[in-house]
Structure 1
Amino acid sequence: MIRKRSSSPVSGPSIPRNSRTLRVSLVALGASVAWAGCGGGEAPSDEPAGAADAPPQFETTEVAEGVYQFRWVGHNALFAVTSEGVFAFDPISVEAAATYAEEIRRVAPGAELAAIVYSHNHADHATGAEVLREAFGADVPIYAHRNADAPLRESANPDLPPPTATFDETMTLAGGEIELHYLGRSHSDDIAVGFLPAHDLAFAVDFVSRDRFGYQDLASFHFPDMFDAIEGLLEIPFETIVFGHGPPGDRAAVERQLTYYRDLDAAVRAAVEVGLSEDETAETVLMEDYSHWDRYDDWRELNVRGMHRKLTAGVGESEEEGEEEGEHDEGGEEGEGEHGGEGREGRGEHGREGRGEHGREGREGRGEHDGNGGEHGGEGGEHGGEGGHAEGDEGEESGVYIGRAETWDETRRGARLILAFDPGGNLFAGTVENTTNETLCAVRVEVHLSSGTELGPTQRTDLAPGTSTTVELETAGEAFERWTAHPEVSRCAG
């Protein structure tokens, strides 16, 4: 059986403690939290939910004996009570971590927090570790894949400290009660998948979910590596899996995710081969077999467009990869940077075997490259080429939320965003300015509300040195108390 506890929707740090405990089956759980299957915590419908229909802000569910999913709005964390104490994956945010700590204490009174584990370095999952540490009064270690270390040290965010210990391929914790696996690049190049062998349970964030389209235009997704990573996940002998967003699933859910990406790749590839443009492909590749999936209406077209860009970029990866892939990958992958589509096909044919023959060496090579700056560099990370997300892609807030009446004024990668909420017009209005001496390409802006809703992004625009453009993002009357924002900057073509 699964036990869960939830709260009523609230804003701010004060959360009522009068929630009741429920006992439900896994099937019932899936239905009750299906609303959370959206990236970045957005509401799944096109219209904001009314107060009576709004889901609880947080919910703690026992998914196996001593193992709990903690949901905060649209993001999931996982914590396990082991023989060595509690191991907590993903603090999510400063606000979420405060409630996360209370829930750990509630279900495991007297237990020590043995460690924090980052699924990856993106701020919408990893922020808040210091809050957990302070709540348990100890210098709790933080574990992550080694590729997460460099970008977190560069960001120097006190709410998102770098790991105290890292791993390359696998790591065991609590005497083998928890395993961490690195499966190669997928949504990012540093995702650690958690596996609890005694419970046949896995925790995988952002690169897979249950019956949901990939996030927006797949900007941060590494194809064809994604196929290898999902196949690698299926090699782990889990039966139940908790995702970073949405309800739990099983092996069949992961198999469906893999099939969807293969079908998307094949459909868009066929369109490209007959010479269809991105717009034509977006109009004709409807992925109707998946029309019942979450975010079909919102992200189907964006998924198609993103895949079209990746397949026509002239390399086997998205635009931001280029020559680095050829320089640092092992065994014959050098041709990928030079031969485009043929490179991708070659990668696809040997990628699955590659994990056995040379995949380990290849991943280590990427790790060395990334650990020394590599893709993350000073340019805002692996997402720079398409989204410029120093803190991540799916709900990639800075980790800092401000009050409804406060003004946002922050510069990221040379783009200074000044933004404020206009209650009369129910919109955010302001400007984004290029503060550098070079053109900033494809600049766009997103706002994330404390309710979990994401606004934007705005249309991409190039900004010449010293120029600015206006920003307006409507809220459609969405209720919120706090918010965060960020500009995104892409690498210029050529």
Structure 2
Amino acid sequence: MRKNSLSLALLIGSACGLIQSAQAQQYEGLGSGEGLPRHEITHLTGDLYRFRQIRDFGLFAVTPDGIIVVDPMNTEMATWLKAELDERFGLPVKYVIYSHHHNDHASGGEVFADTATFVGHENMRKNMQPPAADAPLSPRQQLWDANGDGLIQLDEAIGTAHHAEFDSLDTNNDGGMSHAEMWMRRSGGEQVPPDIYYSDKASITLGGKTVELHYTGRNHTDDTTDLLFPDERVLHTVDYLTPKRPPAYDVYGGFFPDWLESLRRVEQLDFDIISPGHELPGTKADAIEQRRYMEDLIAAVRAGMAAGLTEEELVETVLMEDYDHMIGFEAHRPGNVIGVYQTLIAYQ
């Protein structure tokens, strides 16, 4: 397979149909965080609050008996958050719930370990275990391995999520990235593992507040948890469903067509507001748009594959014009096409 030589520029945006236009304009630069405080807490609705570091968001619920935190992110964020929670509410964090195992969301839990019980999907158990140093490349990584040596060299990484970080990922300086080294990029670290694992659905009640944990199937990962707060009719989603924005870049690690099935299941949940792990809140209409986008994207890529188009030809012809109003569309569309194509080739 010819290697894609497309280099995707960083362009992360945000929008929110729930807030006033002046406030939305304030967050137009959310992708870089320029002009915003590094850390921030904002009230969402009811007993729910969002906390932010640059462009990453977590969520917490305040109850009379303590606080439920979703995704502590990292030690810096969690340390700042704990100080703020102590000052504002004077209540302990009783639960930390993970959306998935990736280290940009599931790190920092040690800050709350003295009071909190940690909860996550059962697949986090295996996903938090590092692969052996000599573990083989994943099926999709094998597509990049042009010389078949079991490593990804710098030129082979062009167009992937790993190219810009090649020097830091090639930790043994042998000129190639192993599967274990690439695993470290998203999953490495010293995250606190869950104390409680669930499979399909669970609920946690604290101080009269209930949060439902839903596993809607494989999407961005195979251990993603959607968190539904029935009282506020809020659904917290991370990475695979971001209002008004396509999936990020080449959707590395994503599962197709499972991702689409997950979005269909999310539509069946009873909520009004989406609180995403990146960017600003949205509505159920945004979930519907995401599902339609994914339906059209997968169908177009499959049709092109059936017609014998190459990866490069698919990028040139699967234009998705009906969705060009979405934030970051020009940056993310080519990678979305590549990601779906490579995943369908690698895993089916």
Residues 157, 302 of structure 1: alpha-carbon distance in 2 compared, 3 angstrom cutoff: closer
Map of 1:27 onto structure 2: 20
Write out per-residue CA displacement over residues 205-257 of structure 1, whole angstroms, 9 at most, x where no aligned residue.
11100111212212211111111211111111011110011100110011111
Aligned counterparts of 2:250 and 2:57: Cα–Cα separation in 1: 22
Match of 2:200 among 169, 181, 204: 169
Map of 2:323 onto structure 1: 290
Count residues with an aligned counterpart. 273
CA contact (8 A) 1:264 1:304 kept: yes
CA contact (8 A) 2:75 2:108 kept: yes
3-state SS in 1 of match to 2:274 = strand
What amino acid maps onto 2:20 in structure 1?
V
Write out per-residue CA displacement over residues 175-209 of structure 1, whole angstroms, 9 at most, x where no aligned residue.
56111111111110111111111111111111100
CA RMSD of aligned residues (A): 2.1
Map of 1:280 onto structure 2: 313
Aligned counterparts of 2:292 and 2:84: Cα–Cα separation in 1: 36
Map of 1:80 onto structure 2: 61
3-state SS in 1 of match to 2:270 = coil
What amino acid maps onto 1:182 in structure 2?
Y
Structure 2 residue runs of 5 or longer lacking an equivalent are 1-17, 132-186
Aligned counterparts of 2:46 and 2:286: Cα–Cα separation in 1: 22
Aligned counterparts of 2:267 and 2:87: Cα–Cα separation in 1: 33
Write out per-residue CA displacement over residues 473-494 of structure 1, whole angstroms, 9 at most, x where no aligned residue.
xxxxxxxxxxxxxxxxxxxxxx
Aligned counterparts of 1:95 and 1:239: Cα–Cα separation in 2: 32
CA contact (8 A) 2:323 2:329 kept: yes
Residues 54, 231 of structure 1: alpha-carbon distance in 2 compared, 3 angstrom cutoff: same
Write out per-residue CA displacement over residues 271-324 of structure 1, whole angstroms, 9 at most, x where no aligned residue.
22222111111112222222222222222111111222233x1xxxxx2x4xxx
Structure with the greater alpha carbon radius of gyration: 1
Map of 2:120 onto structure 1: 144
Map of 1:124 onto structure 2: 104
> TM-score normalised to the size of structure 1?
0.52
2:44 matched to 1:63? Answer: yes
Following TM superposition, by how much is the alpha carbon of 1:30 offset from its aligned partner in structure 2, in angstroms? Answer: 4.1
Following TM superposition, by how much is the alpha carbon of 1:157 offset from its aligned partner in structure 2, in angstroms? Answer: 6.8
> TM-score normalised to the size of structure 2?
0.73
Aligned counterparts of 2:198 and 2:301: Cα–Cα separation in 1: 36
CA contact (8 A) 2:92 2:115 kept: no
Aligned counterparts of 1:307 and 1:142: Cα–Cα separation in 2: 33
Match of 2:303 among 270, 278, 297: 270
3-state SS in 1 of match to 2:41 = strand
Write out per-residue CA displacement over residues 18-48 of structure 1, whole angstroms, 9 at most, x where no aligned residue.
xxxxxxx723444433443xxxxx53xxxxx
2:174 matched to 1:194? Answer: no
Equivalent residue runs for 1:278-357 within 5 Å: 278-311=311-344, 313=345, 319=346, 321=347, 340=348
Equivalent residue runs for 1:422-437 within 5 Å: none
Structure 1 residue runs of 5 or longer lacking an equivalent are 1-24, 37-41, 44-48, 314-318, 322-339, 341-494
Write 1 or 2 for the structure with the bigger share of strand: 1
Aligned counterparts of 2:316 and 2:335: Cα–Cα separation in 1: 11
CA contact (8 A) 1:91 1:129 kept: yes
